[in-house]
Chain A
Amino acid sequence: MIVYKYLAEVLFYALVCLTFAGGIMAVRSRMLMHAVLGLAATLFGVAGLYFHLGSPFLAMMQILIYVGAVCIIIVLGVMLGNTPDQLATKNLTGRNMPLALLACATGFIALFVATISRTEFTPATEKIGNMSIEFVGESLLLQYCLAFELISVILLTAIIGSIILARGGREEKSS
């Protein structure tokens, strides 16, 4: 059994490496398509971390929604926009680089020091329920019913809004 424990640990390191490598690829690549690929790698890594955190359901949902839907939408956006040559020349000009590095280093150090090394998080003494899908589904339909309905309203609004936004220009052009 101890072998599986170490195997899970190695897998965890691999997932963290995948997450960070995808992130670096997404921010440092010249082509936007490579950036989307890096985003997909990061999302896979985070899905594996959800698995480690004891929720296979969320790992599935992460792959289904983020990798399956959001990445495809972004790829569509990339393909409908500028051509890759136009973007490659101006994507990494380096003008914002010192500002970006400064902001990120400051934010990282501040968050690291303030929240991680100085705060003690005490676990709850008593747990109700468990991590299973059944419990999540029950809570969604009983305790968090209003939020559940609101999220469907938000999704409907997003669908209608994006259709209206994307249609408007086309009619203007054809008339």
Chain B
Amino acid sequence: MMISNNLNTYLIISVVLLVIGLYGMVQHRSLIGMLISSEFILNGAALNFMAFNRFVAPNPAVGQIYTLFIMGIAAAEAAIVVSIIITVYRKYNSEDPEELRDMKM
């Protein structure tokens, strides 16, 4: 049996993506690095949806639509987070998440 035609393979890949994102989220010392890690987590979720859509789901359009929505949400999230980071950088002159102690702008 082909390994690329198996649900568990894709589930393992998406778990690895999630774990990479989690690791980067804890370990990166800048807001942009955390944003990059969150993209990994979102991609793992999207791949999961697509895998279940291909192998299990009765309606093959649902998973694709969900993945499209995840992409849209990720694009909106990236735009907003980058503009927040620019504002934070102007205010604090730093991107270190540990230096952001108060929310007053």
Contact = CB atoms under 8 A, between A and B. Distances in A.
A104 B22 contact: yes
A10 B45 CA distance: 24
B82 A54 contact: no
How many A residues are at the interface, by size bracket?
35 or more
Given A27-B24, A42-B43, A124-B57, A158 B71 contact: no
Contact of A27 (B23, B76, B84, B90): B23
Contact of B33 (A24, A35, A58): A35
Interface residues of B, number: 75
Contacts of B65: 136, 139-140, 144, 147
A159 B79 contact: yes
A110 B48 CA distance: 17
Contact of A12 (B4, B51, B55): B4
Interface in A25-79: 26-27, 32, 35-36, 39, 42-43, 46, 49-50, 52-55, 57-58, 61-62, 65-66, 69-70, 73-74, 76-78
Interface of A: 5, 8-9, 12, 16, 19-20, 23-24, 26-27, 32, 35-36, 39, 42-43, 46, 49-50, 52-55, 57-58, 61-62, 65-66, 69-70, 73-74, 76-78, 80-82, 87, 90-93, 96-97, 99-101, 103-104, 107-108, 111-112, 115-116, 121-124, 126-131, 135-136, 138-140, 144, 147, 151, 154-155, 157-159, 161-163, 165-166, 168-169, 173
